[in-house]
Amino acid sequence: MDSILVWFRRDLRDTDHAALGEALRRGRRVHCAFIFEREILDALEQRSDRRVEFIGASLVELDTALRQRGGALLVRHGWAAAEIPQLAKELGVSAVFVNRDYEPQAKRRDAAVRDALAADGIAFESFKDQAVLDGDEVLTLAGRPFTVFTPYKNAWLKRLSEDDWQSYEGRACGALAPDQAATGVPSLANIGFASTDLRALGIVPGMSGGQKLLTDFLGRIARYHQQRDFPALKGVSYLSLHLRFGTVSIRQLVAKAIAAGALREGGEGAATWLSELVWRDFYFMILDRFPHVAERAFKPAYDAIEWEQGPDADEAFAAWCAGRTGYPLVDAAMRQLNSTGYMHNRLRMLVASFLTKDLGVDWRRGEAYFAGRLNDFDLAANNGGWQWAASSGCDAQPYFRIFNPVTQSERFDPAGRFIRRYLPELAAVPERFIHAPWRMTALEQAACAVIVGRDTPAPMVDHQQARRRTLARYAVVKRLAAP
């Protein structure tokens, strides 16, 4: 092809980039563009959003990298369905190349762009980049999508070959176009947003930030399987934000996991991390093949559950959001989310279980709250995690498995280090009571100056009573599933 436009979306890097690599292999001149999409930005609740700032800073680094290679990044602010076809016509390209997106809204947007381009005789091609394996690459023996993770993972590993994690580097023969119309990345103010505390939180955007985290994690990966469930420890990779916006390559991460022993005996840490990357592909596949999950339960029977409604449910939800449930680890997790935009994965499971099974609140309310506040919000993973916790999703925990917030706290934050970090009002509570301060006598509360009901909330529900209510609530599922 004479010229190709590469439309960057959630793939903000110039290395090991499927669409860019294919464009450079097949086109003589390659243009690069990014659209600050109003369909997405206008729907955000706040005009100060860490994700938007992360994108903007990552684009600055991407533009710099492209200019060093002789190209530039064309940045627009508007409606992608109009901006991309218009830009393609202005540049006179033969095709627009993108990396595939699996979200329903993104697929509708891409269909609209494809139709508009086709009317002008311009091709539209998409490539696999977010996932390691997608489409029909992992199917059951009957030729259907998997709905249970373990057999999916086994088939994924069996199907995986070196070609699947091979980098796109070194395959180019075309050249980037030095677009004179590329005037740099607009400031946050120019697209209607204000700056945030992104840098103050230690978040480094862009490819450099992703590689820094990856390098650090590879020095700890051997202990991942032992430390990943403990929020007070530096046990996880912290790469989820970079995976969300594609400032790191999933192929590179898989290659690093395999190099660290993921497929060999004795490489438990790397193998466990690789399994988490497979979960990511699994949830992409579920969203792609079963798009109804974005609005309803994966298992239709679970749509019959009657969740708590009315003022009491609203009050319970508000207390959960604010980290005022009276259960220290639940509250510390919510305070972490509200103050930093991050929550440890073990705690995401705990707070989701608490909202749905202790408070009886619809999982969709929690899912939406996370969507608005998680820096690394990803529809596939967020929906999959919430439906897993609510037992309504594919391969979810059984409905009768209900996390006990106290025993979870004792197991995964035994010394209360994480709790004290985000609930400083409990700093003086003795370790034996940090998971359940209400168990202190009045004298013990006075001695540490933490009065339950005054300095810290009393538990808003009794877990055992809530468990019985949940089993009764979910009984409708058993009835509908009965022959």
3-state secondary structure of 34: strand
Given 345, 404, 410, 444, the catalytic residue: 345
Last residue of some domain: 79, 109, 129? Answer: 129
Residue 307 designated active-site: yes
Quick one: pLDDT at residue 168?
85
431 and 389 together in one domain: yes
* CATH number, residue 226: 1.25.40.80
Residue 72, domain member (yes or no): yes
For residue 244, how far is the Cα from the chain centroid? 6
- Distance, in Å, from the CA atom of 133 to the CA atom of 168, rounded to the nearest integer, reads 15
Neighbouring C-beta atoms of residue 431, cutoff 10 Å: 11
pLDDT at position 172 is 62
In a domain, 192, yes or no: no
Q: What CATH number did the domain enclosing 66 receive?
A: 3.40.50.620
Residue 330 sits in the same domain as residue 429: yes
Asked whether residue 414 is domain-assigned, the answer is yes
**Domain assignment present for 376:** yes
431 included as an active-site residue: no
pLDDT at residue 171, rounded to an integer? 62
**Are residues 337 and 260 part of one domain?**
no
Let me know whether 412 and 452 are in one domain: yes
Same domain, 310 and 264: no
* Residue 156 annotated among the catalytic residues of the structure: no
Considering the candidates 39, 268, 276, 444, report the single residue annotated as catalytic: 276
Phi/psi at 326 (nearest 5 deg)? Answer: 95, -10
Are 453 and 310 members of one domain? yes
Residue 175 lies in a domain: no
Which is the catalytic residue, given 7, 156, 386, 388? 386
Q: What is the DSSP letter of 456?
A: B
Kindly state whether residues 111 and 144 are assigned to the same domain.
Answer: no
pLDDT at residue number 483: 45
Residue 194 is assigned to a structural domain of this protein: no
Residue 79 lies in a domain: yes
Spot the catalytic one: 7, 156, 320, 363: 363
- Which of the listed residues 129, 158, 180 is the one where a domain comes to its end? 129
Sole residue written with tokens 């400083």: 424
| 171-195 residues labelled b (16+ CB within 10 A) or e (exposed) | ebebebbebeebeebeebeebebee
Specify whether 153 is located in the same domain as 284: yes
Res 480: pLDDT: 64
Same domain, 372 and 409: yes
Do 321 and 385 belong to one domain?
A: yes
Quote the pLDDT of residue 481: 58
How many residues are listed for the chain in this entry?
483
Same-domain status, 241 and 361: no
CA–CA distance, 383 with 371 (Å, rounded to integer): 9
Separation between Cα atoms, residue 282 and residue 465, nearest integer Å? 35
Q: What is the CATH number of the domain that holds 333?
A: 1.10.579.10
DSSP-assigned states of every residue in 164-202? GG---TT---SEE---TT---PPPTGGGT----STTTTT
Domain housing 386: 300-477
Residue 383 and residue 265 share a domain: no
CB atoms within 10 A of CB 121: 8
- Work out how many domains the chain is built from and give that number: 3
What is the greatest pairwise CA distance in the chain? 81
Look at residue 263 and tell me if it is in a domain: yes
Domain ends where: 289, 312, 336?
289
Catalytic residue, candidates 307, 308, 338, 444: 307
Tokens of 211: 């590689």
SS3 222: helix
The reply to whether 383 belongs to the active site is: no
Q: How far apart are CA 260 and CA 219, in angstroms?
A: 10
Encode the chain (483 residues) as per-residue pLDDT tens digits.
899 999 999 999 999 999 999 999 999 999 999 999 999 999 998 999 999 999 999 999 999 999 999 999 999 999 999 999 999 999 999 999 999 999 999 999 999 999 999 999 999 999 999 999 999 999 999 999 999 999 999 999 999 999 999 988 766 667 999 888 888 999 999 999 999 999 999 999 999 999 999 999 999 999 999 999 999 999 999 999 999 999 999 999 999 999 999 999 999 999 999 999 999 999 999 999 999 999 999 999 999 999 999 999 999 999 999 999 999 999 999 999 999 999 999 999 999 999 999 999 999 999 999 999 999 999 999 999 999 999 998 877 788 889 999 999 999 999 999 999 999 999 999 999 999 999 999 999 999 999 999 999 999 999 999 999 999 999 998 776 554
What's phi and psi for 94, nearest 5 deg? -90, -25
